Amino acid sequence: MSLDPTSALSRRTLLSSTAAAFTIVAPQTVRGTQANSKISVGLIGSGNRGTYDAKISNADPRARVTALCDKYNDRIEQAKTALQLDKVDTYNEFEKLLASPSIDAVIIATPPFEHPRMLEATVDAKKHVYCEKPAGVDFEGCKRVMKAGRKMDPKKVLSFGYQQRYGPVYLEAYKRFTAGAIGELSTARASWIAQDPFTRRDYPGLDAKELELRNWFCHPKYSGDIIVEQDCHNFDVLHWFLGGLPIKAIGTSTRKVRTTMDIVDNLSVTLEWPKNVLVNFEANQLTPVGYNKIGEEFTGPKGTITTSRQRMVHYKGPGDSETMVSKRDITFEGIEQFLGRIVSGEVENVAHRSALSTMIAILGRTAMYERKEVTWKGLYGTV
């Protein structure tokens, strides 16, 4: 693959997403009789995020959650309670869930290091799949995701949990940005500054390996560190709006407050995109509750557009700005469009794009770990 910008891909995705949002097809016309019209969804990874995604799916009239899978039974029981499921199939091995012919679609919400392996298996099982971000925790994992995407049944949907791509405020911001509302991009910034979302727990009786897995977020080999596990959302937005990939990055990071984990708690990275566009990115997980700054900022000679899950603000000049507010968590748009694509047949396969967004985060992580300039070509070659 070359390093050519992917703006055309982004435009196609935007158009197909918009079409899917307004296409109404009776489920029975796609799935047979009314009795079996609901999409049967299996959840792999029944933790907090997976349960949240599954709750949105189960509340959608087009779908029902029929199976839960997790390595740990307590997570399955918590998910059953949260989803208020009286009758549901349960599995400790994801392969057994995938082998069920009654499952139409799968949500993968396991720790990030498992995403490539489980996505590959889901593709082989010919299920529709919504995989949580990131695509993986290293370059090898991202390559596996790209390969799985190339093998995907062209009639099946392969979506990722980069939900900004589906959020109305982001779509409006992108529309204005590409229409030249701020002129040619001069510079951009992004940040994920917020409180610590993780709590290390003790699990009496577990050996060291299992204890690590239960607290996967503490360890880069499982989570990818915060810049990959969480901040990949920002990098996906930059990948989308800037229409391509960065040339290089330089950065640094420290562990200032959260000293009991192997991951950093604050970082700063500067990336350079083609046309001499510099992007400053900063993140932390140590800010006290009550303040956060999460989102992106794009500046040109004619104005600035800022984006976040909560709102889009278009600054046009002194005292002249326009705000569009999100009506709900944009995860709803991501899940609902996934289900809508299954029903309508307007499929998407974003494995390649999502792997590249994850690789931008890995580029930044490498730069901050090594505290030196790292180039895309030097890290990934010609991929």
- Domain topology for 166-327+361-380: Dihydrodipicolinate Reductase; domain 2 (3.30.360)
Two domains, one topology: 7-164+332-349 and 166-327+361-380: no
The contacts of residue 26 (CB under 8 Å, 6+ apart) are: none
Q: Among 227, 225, 146, 162, which residue's Cα sits nearest to residue 190?
A: 227
**Where does the pLDDT of residue 37 fall: very low under 50, low under 70, confident under 90, or very high at 90 and above?**
confident
Q: Give the tens place of pLDDT for each residue, 317-342.
A: 999 999 999 999 999 999 999 999 99
State phi, psi for 337 to the nearest 5 degrees: -70, -35
Domain ranges of the chain: 7-164+332-349, 166-327+361-380
Q: For residues 238 and 246, what is the distance between their CA atoms, to the nearest angstrom? A: 9
DSSP per residue over 263-276, as a string?
Answer: S-SEEEEEEEETTT
Q: Among 196, 361, 217, which residue's Cα sits nearest to residue 292?
A: 196
Q: How far from 298 is each of 44, 243, 353, CA to CA, in Å?
A: 36, 13, 21
Q: In the chain, pLDDT over 70 holds for what percent of residues?
A: 91
- Rounded to an integer, the average pLDDT of 171-188 is 98
This prediction has a pTM of 0.90
**Where does the pLDDT of residue 36 fall: very low under 50, low under 70, confident under 90, or very high at 90 and above?**
low
Strand partners, 280: 189, 270
Q: Give the tens place of pLDDT for each residue, 83-125.
A: 999 899 999 999 999 999 999 999 999 999 999 999 999 999 9
Beta strand 266-273 with 248-254 is antiparallel
Show the DSSP H helices in 249-375 as ranges: 331-344, 351-370
The answer to whether the beta carbons of residues 101 and 80 sit under 8 Å apart is: no
Q: For residues 81 and 180, what is the distance between their CA atoms, to the nearest angstrom? A: 49
Task: Look at residue 14 and tell me whether its pLDDT is greater than 90.
Answer: no
Euclidean distance between the first and the last CA atom of the chain, given in angstroms as a whole number: 5
Quick check: bond before 27 cis, omega within 30? no
**Where does the pLDDT of residue 143 fall: very low under 50, low under 70, confident under 90, or very high at 90 and above?**
very high
CATH of the domain spanning 7-164+332-349: 3.40.50.720
The answer to whether the beta carbons of residues 179 and 300 sit under 8 Å apart is: no
Q: Give the tens place of pLDDT for each residue, 225-249.
A: 999 999 999 999 999 999 999 999 9
Q: Among 221, 211, 273, which residue's Cα sits nearest to residue 244?
A: 273
